[in-house]
Amino acid sequence: MILLSTLNARYIHSSLGLRYLYAQMDELQAQSRIIEFTINQRPLDIAEQLLELQPRIIGFGLYIWNITQTTEVMAIIKSLRPDIPLIAGGPEISHETEQSPAYPYADHIIRGQADFAFAELCRQLLTATAQPDRIIDAPTFNPAQLSLPYAGYSDEDIRQRVIYVEASRGCPFKCEFCLSALDKTAQAVDIDDFLRQMQALYERGARHFKFVDRTFNLNLNTSERILNFFLDKPLDDLFLHFELIPDRLPERLKTLIQRFPAGCLQFEIGIQSFNPQVQALISRRQDQDQTQHNLHYLRSETGVHLHTDLIAGLPGEDIDSFARGFDLLVSLRPQEIQLGILKRLRGSPIIRHQQGFDMVYNPNPPYNILSTRDMDSATLFRLNRFARYWDIIANSGRFGASLAPILGAQPFARFMALSDWLFATTGQTHRIALQRLFELLYQCYQDQPVVLQALAQDYASAGFKRPLQQQVPAAVSRLKAPAEAASSRQQRHRTKSA
């Protein structure tokens, strides 16, 4: 049996890449199987499950979120069954190959798009007609040549997981923080075949489709065909996610978008930075005025849910520049602002700025930026906490009434002050229960009646029965500053030791 495996970040995720490999297996498909895990499972348990299937070949997809755990799995398998060929592919070994932690355990490595190369390598290994190279650079091809992978989604996938689809592959833009900067252009799959496959998924019950195209609105004819395809369906339980170029939204696309009801469309729009000098440094082309105009239009004239992205730590951007961009984006009122910290993806051109801007990255996944010439490590540590608190407060949807008075007229400054206070008070950024978070916010803003009134409204909307103003006094007395809490732990430890 040939196993195609990867470790997803969460159970609800499904690997489109594995399903593409499976779809190209042709005569080998009958003896091939997709088997997915999550990064929260123990590597030892994963290795046991794989070996129980008595595989002849195992292929692993390596990504930034799973490279550490997958390397452990590969090491265990190699210790127990060195005779089983392990094939590795994916971004974490396609670039800077010999530096990948998985490199010592991979018998064969496919660099690049392995859709066809994986099947051919398996044929060679099974027939033993020739000894394949250890490192194989996959040849380029037109995505229209691919057998589409959507029959590889199981009924369980359709019921319980995100269904990823793509109408095109690649990106014509050269943003240096992204591996798509290495692409020459974007190429479409056969649109007629694609829509037939979408119809088949729909008839099987799929209603949520996440398009992974980097630039969904690049080819307007294709965009129109896809939107019209879904507009012909009942829209009450349909959800579509697209990634859009922010400054490209012609009238013909607007007309179609307006026909979708609220809750049906989500657009992921990467802003990354509003600083023109920073954009130029990272080879990002973006019409600032048109971007702002389009975001304002989408928010005020359509029912689209806007998921926007900013990146902290880009070369040439200091904290004041980032704050201005954040405040501008908040003023445009997207439903979500995802605050990312710059990561040095293997092979991405952002590395060229390392010396000139004193870019220091975490040597371990996810390779996040630790300090730059313009942002020291203390600032980036604060921004990491800011991003986490923003996610659980602003992006959670739980604080719809409270967020505006919390942010006031200076969103970045006020939320940074809140972030600093939360960390000083709790010493943690994760595993904060929702009720405790309300209590903490109530304590922080106890001298600001407008915020307290809004918090009480959100607290009631969250389903808590006891009024927040009655819940908080007892909770506040239980709160301890980090230093006090640490002292208490030390005292308990000394007592036990004695």
Which tokens hold the place of 362?
């975490």
Among residues 126, 141, 156, which one ends one of the domains? 141
Using an 8 Å Cβ cutoff, are 89 and 118 in contact? yes
Question: For residue 381, is it within any domain?
Answer: no
Split into its structural domains, the chain has a count of: 3
Please list the pLDDT of the chain residue by residue as tens digits (498 residues): 999 999 999 999 999 999 999 999 999 999 999 999 999 999 999 999 999 999 999 999 999 999 999 999 999 999 999 999 999 999 999 999 999 999 999 999 999 999 999 999 999 999 987 789 999 999 999 999 999 999 999 999 999 999 999 999 999 889 999 999 898 888 999 999 999 999 999 999 999 999 999 989 989 999 999 999 999 999 999 999 999 999 999 999 999 999 999 999 999 999 999 999 999 999 998 999 999 999 999 999 999 999 999 999 999 999 999 999 999 999 999 999 999 999 999 999 999 999 999 999 999 999 999 999 999 999 999 999 999 999 999 999 999 999 999 999 999 999 999 999 999 999 999 999 999 999 999 999 999 999 999 999 999 999 998 888 777 655 444 444 444 444 444 444 444 443
Question: For residue 391, is it within any domain?
Answer: no
Write down the pTM of the prediction.
0.91
Residues 161 and 266 in one domain: yes
* Residue ranges with strand state E in 255-359: 265-272, 305-312, 336-341
Q: What are phi and psi of 481, to 5 degrees?
A: -65, 155
Residues 81 and 408: their CA atoms lie apart, in Å, by 61
Domain residues for the domain of 155 are 144-375
Question: For residue 175, is it within any domain?
Answer: yes
Residues 169 and 131 in one domain: no
- Residue 421: count of CB within 10 angstroms of its CB: 16
Measure the N-to-C terminal CA separation of the chain; round to a whole number of Å. Answer: 59
Tell me, what CATH number does 42's domain have? 3.40.50.280
Residue 72, CB-side half-sphere exposure with 13 Å CA sphere: 13
Residues 497 and 348 in one domain: no
Residues 338 and 423 in one domain: no
Residues 120 and 152 in one domain: no
Residues 38 and 112 in one domain: yes
Place of tokens 């013909």: 252
Question: For residue 490, is it within any domain?
Answer: yes
Residues 207 and 244 in one domain: yes
Residues 244 and 279 in one domain: yes
Question: For residue 205, is it within any domain?
Answer: yes
Tell me, what CATH number does 290's domain have? 3.80.30.20
Residues 154 and 93 in one domain: no
Question: For residue 442, is it within any domain?
Answer: yes
Residues 241 and 123 in one domain: no
Partners of 209 in the beta sheet? 163, 240
